[in-house]
Amino acid sequence: MSVIVNVRHTMIRNHGRQNMFSRRFTIGAVEQQRQGEESGARPPVYELRTYTVYADKMREFLDLTTKEFHLRTVHSKLFGYWTSEIGGLNQVVHIWEYGSLSERAGVRAKLAADPEWIKRYLSRIVSMMPCQDNALLTLLPGRQISLPSNKGVYELQTMQLHGTPAVWSKALLTYVQACEAARQAEGSMVVGAWNSVLGPRQMAAVLWQHPTPDGSLSLAEASATLPESEALAPLIASGHSKLLLPYAVSPLQ
């Protein structure tokens, strides 16, 4: 059976809501990561945040984010920021990159002492959100960040797996590589593949970019025929998939 079929919610075919612009990215982040690995430095950590917003506050929340979110990004590196289209209603998803948990702690301390951030943004959005969640991620062994050079839509796959990463990481990496090869010609690509360190345990997260929302459906169809999908399926306890649209403040478009 297809892993993606197992974990997927039905994806939409119409992405008329998108108003994205083409944007070029450098490979600087990948080069920095490679140099860090060669020097023995600890690789970066990534914080995955998911906010659920009251439906009647979503427009106000996003407008305020457009206007004031620079007060947050001045303190640390935003990797990506999206709204959830399918797989989570009235949600925003964002990923932050840190050199270490110590760096993150320093950033949080600076934010707590930033009166403009608190007054103009944080204090105004707190009452708009019934739920916030986060998880700390590290890249799977052998994986690097691949920054897209074109606009697109995104798909975040999360899987709960049986056992420790030592049990399933090789099968997952092989599966991801097989899916990449199957969809590369059509323009789908893996931006990042991680496992959790804090938050949900034994969780893997794979972030895809597709040229259109239909790319997620094509990926599901392609994966259904892969032997690597069959090999990984018994190791998956549960899974979820979200179709994400990049928001205006996101470096990834």
Q: Is the Cα torsion angle 197, 199, 202, 204 positive or negative in sign? A: negative
For residue range 45-81, list pLDDT tens digits in order: 999 999 999 999 999 999 999 999 999 999 999 999 9
Range name among 8-17, 159-168, 182-191, 201-210 with the lowest pLDDT average: 8-17
pLDDT over threshold 50, residue 247: yes
What one-letter code names the amino acid at 216? S
Which contacts (CB < 8 Å, 24+ apart) does range 184-187 have?
186/211, 186/215, 186/218, 187/150, 187/152, 187/211, 187/215
pLDDT at 221: 87
pLDDT band at 40 (very low <50, low <70, confident <90, very high): low
pLDDT at 21: 31
Instruction: Report helix angle 214-223 to 165-183, nearest 10.
Output: 110
Is 54 within 8 Å of 129 (Cβ atoms)?
yes
- Report the distance separating Cα 190 and Cα 134, nearest Å: 21
**What are the residue boundaries of the structural domains of the chain, listed by start?**
3-246
For residue range 146-189, list pLDDT tens digits in order: 999 999 999 999 999 998 888 999 999 999 999 989 887 688 99
Which of these CATH numbers, 3.50.50.60, 3.30.70.100, 3.40.50.2300, 3.40.50.1110, describes 3-246? 3.30.70.100
Instruction: Tell me what the mean pLDDT of segment 197-219 comes to.
Output: 94
- Report the distance separating Cα 110 and Cα 25, nearest Å: 28
